[in-house]
Structure 1
Amino acid sequence: MSMEEVPKKSWWRRIIAGAKTLERPKKQRGKLQRDHSRLLAFWLYTLLFTILFFACIGILLALNTRSIVNDLERESVQPKVTSGGDTGINVVAGNNFLQSFIQTYMTVVNDAQKLEEREKQLQVYMVKTADGEQTTSIFSVQDIKGNRTLKSVNLYNTQTTKEGTLFQYKVSYVNELPTTKVVEKVVPAGKGKTKKVKNTVKTTQAVSQEALLNIPVVSNGEGYAVKEAPYFTEIYPLQAKVTQKKSEPPAEYDGTEKKDIDTFVVDFFSKYASASKADMAYMMKEPESLEGMLAFDNVVDTYVVKTKTGFQVQATVQFRDKTVQIPTSESFTINIIKKEGQYFVTKLSHERSE
């Protein structure tokens, strides 16, 4: 090989090597640009869909919250009636509804204008027909001779009817009948003499009465209305002879701790009468007390029963009014355990357990 061939060959190789070197960066740059574009697009779309998703969730939650708030606001203005059976009559609300109705119904003044106003006021409380018209007035009063005045009214009983509730009120009222009577009066007749003169004067004959005023009431779930005309009946007694079957009581405890338990019961109710609620916390789980309203007198009797965790004590306790010393007897049941060597009340109820 001659010296001229060596440089020529080296020159040719350098050209080929340079061409290869120039091609590689182009491929790498193109590949890197494509990968970054796809990755960027992926994250942009992901972010966009995430924002849209949470925006939809936020709108739904806002609508639901607004609906709940509206329901609560409606309930605060118009409570949902639930008591009084399936008729949806709440006795407390129904009683409040009827107060002004009863006052207006029971008050009758023998004056044409006032009787007309009374009729209009009472008609507002009545049930309307399906077309919005009220039923024929049942409160028109004609050809009366006197007045009626309400003295007192008390809710006596309620009875569930097919369509609503019958409210019964014990009413005391006075019927007043204007009348006249002849009155004799002694008047001077001159020269030291007197004579009797008869005069006719106006007076009022008042007759007090008591009766049950019966008012049928219905509800549409939003309010109340009087269904029919009120009517009077005689007052019937509410007292009845009620008998209860008594189960066989558990065996009374008469062990070594009986004397200590009786001592604790006296101490406990003495503090229950005089101590504050906060001070009772070291003697009972759910503190309560009379806080000096009454004075402790004595424990009339106790019945102690052994339980799995401690003892149950049924007791009759007598307290007295501090001023006039009137006694008050109350039945209690307390559950006690031993806690750090001392008796401790875990539960107190204001009745004897069966």
Structure 2
Amino acid sequence: MALKVIDEPIQQAPSTAVIKKSKLLKGKNKQKSAVPSGKRTVAKRTRYAVWGTIVVLGLSGVFAFIKANNVSASNAQLVEQVDTMIKKLETLTSVSVDERKTDAYFTEFIPLFMNLDAEDYDNRVEREQALGYYFESTSDHTFGNDTNRRLEDFRLFELNQADEGFVARYFVRYTTSELEGDNRQTFEHLLNIPFVEENGVFAITEFPYFGLVPENRGLVAATESALSERNQVSFAEVEGLEEFLEQFFNNYASSSVEDIAYMMQEPISLNGQFEYVRSENKLYEFEDQEEIIVQSVIELQLSNTGLTHKEHMTLTISNDGDRFFVEKLTHTLGGMN
């Protein structure tokens, strides 16, 4: 059978469904590509936070760099200061003076300088001549007029370095009295003496001058026993200890070191220069309870006089069953240091 070719155009079905589907797909694509406003806000905040962190880190680096430079400069200044101090110390060490030789030199000078006899003209002339070995010129400075000056005591206080040479500072106690009248007075001063030294040879460079004695006396609370927290025992609990202490203190004052050696580990005594009077004692248990610690205030009298004084003692006493023995003695109530 032959097929018939139809020349008429074929009627296509409407494409409405296809169009609707295409529009639907486009709508879906639009829905997928659109970012909600809430998410856009979070993204902006995240970007700001990241950039803020970058800025903070950058500024921190700048500040750290500046601080490091400042520290480096401070370290350089500190090193320079230390070097300067070391040089000063080296200078001081290199020009130090022997204290014993200095004191020996001024031990001869100070009595000569301080003692003035206003009545004895010949003595004043001799003094003036003797001072000529120390000063090139002494007149008008060292002569007394109507006042006697007598040195009672002197001792080296300190040696100081000066711009040129040194200054020896001596504590001096002296009395003055006028030729007429009874007006004796006592003074205490620091006598300052500028001098130089070279190869053991000393020379006074300026006239000595007086200064005030600095206050160096202070008060502290009385020393308290470091054993006050330990158990205190009585003589009744340690038979024979009270008698031993009386014998020991008597021997300590009146016997020789050889005679007291059997009573203590490191024998010491006053060898009869003092007499034992009495004592006040406190007994404490030692940590291992094999020894007793005795803290005493003893009263001693200077032999052949009426002078008495008190001393502190802390004694560690052992007992082997047959006798007591002083293992250690210290002149303190501060404990066993």
Q: TM-score, normalised by structure 1?
A: 0.51
Instruction: Give 1:232's match in structure 2, choosing from 210, 213, 220.
Output: 210
Match of 2:315 in 1: 334
Q: Which amino acid aligns with 1:158?
A: F
Q: Is the 8 A contact 2:253 2:274 kept in 1?
A: yes
Per-residue deviation at 1:278?
1.9
Larger Rg: 2
Instruction: Give 1:216's match in structure 2, choosing from 193, 196, 203.
Output: 193
Q: Is the 8 A contact 2:176 2:186 kept in 1?
A: yes
Match of 1:132 in 2: none
Per-residue deviation at 1:241?
2.8
Give the % identical residues.
20
**CA distance in 2: counterparts of 1:340 and 1:217, whole angstroms:** 67
**CA distance in 2: counterparts of 1:270 and 1:144, whole angstroms:** 56
Q: Which amino acid aligns with 1:259?
A: V
Match of 1:167 in 2: 170
Instruction: Give 2:238's match in structure 1, choosing from 255, 259, 265.
Output: 259
| Ranges in structure 2 where 5+ consecutive residues have no aligned partner | 1-94
**CA distance in 2: counterparts of 1:265 and 1:318, whole angstroms:** 13
Per-residue deviation at 1:343?
1.5
Per-residue deviation at 1:315?
0.9
1:216 is paired with a residue whose SS is strand
Number of aligned pairs?
Answer: 231
**CA distance in 1: counterparts of 2:229 and 2:327, whole angstroms:** 21
- 1:299-318 CA-to-partner distances (Å, cap 9, x unmatched) read 21324341457333221112
Q: Is the 8 A contact 1:173 1:209 kept in 2?
A: yes
**CA distance in 2: counterparts of 1:243 and 1:325, whole angstroms:** 29
Q: Which amino acid aligns with 2:204?
A: V
Match of 2:149 in 1: 150
Relative to structure 1, the CA distance from residue 330 to residue 139 in structure 2 (aligned partners, 3 Å threshold; closer, same or farther) is same
Instruction: Give 2:131's match in structure 1, choosing from 118, 122, 126.
Output: 122
Q: Is the 8 A contact 2:234 2:283 kept in 1?
A: no
Please give the root-mean-square deviation of Cα atoms over the aligned residues, in Å.
4.1
Per-residue deviation at 1:228?
2.9
Instruction: After TM superposition, list the pairs within 5 Å mapping 1:312-331 onto structure 2.
Output: 312-321=293-302, 323-331=304-312
Q: Is the 8 A contact 2:312 2:333 kept in 1?
A: yes
**CA distance in 2: counterparts of 1:100 and 1:342, whole angstroms:** 56
Q: TM-score, normalised by structure 2?
A: 0.53
Q: Is the 8 A contact 1:283 1:345 kept in 2?
A: yes
Per-residue deviation at 1:272?
2.2
Per-residue deviation at 1:214?
0.7
1:232 is paired with a residue whose SS is strand
Q: Which amino acid aligns with 2:99?
A: N
Match of 2:5 in 1: none
Instruction: After TM superposition, list the pairs within 5 Å mapping 1:7-26 onto structure 2.
Output: none
Match of 1:100 in 2: 108
Larger RCO (CA under 8 A, 6+ residues apart): 1
Instruction: After TM superposition, list the pairs within 5 Å mapping 1:181-220 onto structure 2.
Output: 208-211=184-187, 212=189, 214-216=191-193, 218=195, 219-220=197-198
2:113 is paired with a residue whose SS is helix
